Amino acid sequence: MTETTDLSHGATRRTRPLALKIAVGILLLQALANAAGGVLLLMVAAEDIEHGRDVPALQYVLGYASIAIGVVLLACGVLLVRGVLAARPVVVCLEVLAMVGGLVNVVLGAPQAVVGLVLAGLVLMHLYRAEVTEWFRERTEQRTGAYSG
């Protein structure tokens, strides 16, 4: 891990670990996929209405929820890059839900859901690596002024 010197405090600070960069990259991919999927669901609903077909309310709920999850994942990715540890539990909750949904889909016969399972597992694995946890600890100590250098 590369170290740089923070001249304002005279302390040594580490750059972001590669594991965190990988986790955030996957989060951004998931955010884009969720938002795009939600927009697609809403576009299909609008086309169905245009042609006089009924649209189930669940389609709207899933579309808007998918967009909201995409926005939350994007915000969490930005917060993680900035060293805000509070974003990690939110990401964990969303990834665990994604894994549960993926397992249900695999059991119901959708083998492509394995991709979502793997991505969620990679995010969780990388977010809790020792070097990432240490980086967050250092960032928290720097913010609170308890950093000992």
**pLDDT at site 13:** 61
Neighbours of 114 (CB within 10 A): 13
- Tens-digit pLDDT profile for residues 41-53: 999 999 988 888 8
Give residue 5's pLDDT band: very low, low, confident or very high (50, 70, 90). very low
What's the longest Cα–Cα distance across the chain?
68
Indicate the average pLDDT of the chain: 89
Question: Is the pLDDT assigned to residue 98 strictly greater than 80?
Answer: yes
Pairwise CA distance, residues 99 & 16, whole Å: 26
Percent of the chain at pLDDT exceeding 90: 79
Q: Coil, helix or strand for 49? A: helix
Percent of the chain at pLDDT exceeding 70: 89
Give residue 143's pLDDT band: very low, low, confident or very high (50, 70, 90). confident
Degrees (nearest 5) of the Cα angle 88, 89, 93?
120
End-to-end CA separation in angstroms for the chain = 16
**pLDDT at site 142:** 85
pTM comes to 0.83
Mean pLDDT of 15-26: 95
Question: Is the pLDDT assigned to residue 96 strictly greater than 80?
Answer: yes
Question: Is the pLDDT assigned to residue 1 strictly greater than 50?
Answer: no
Tokens of 124: 């969780």
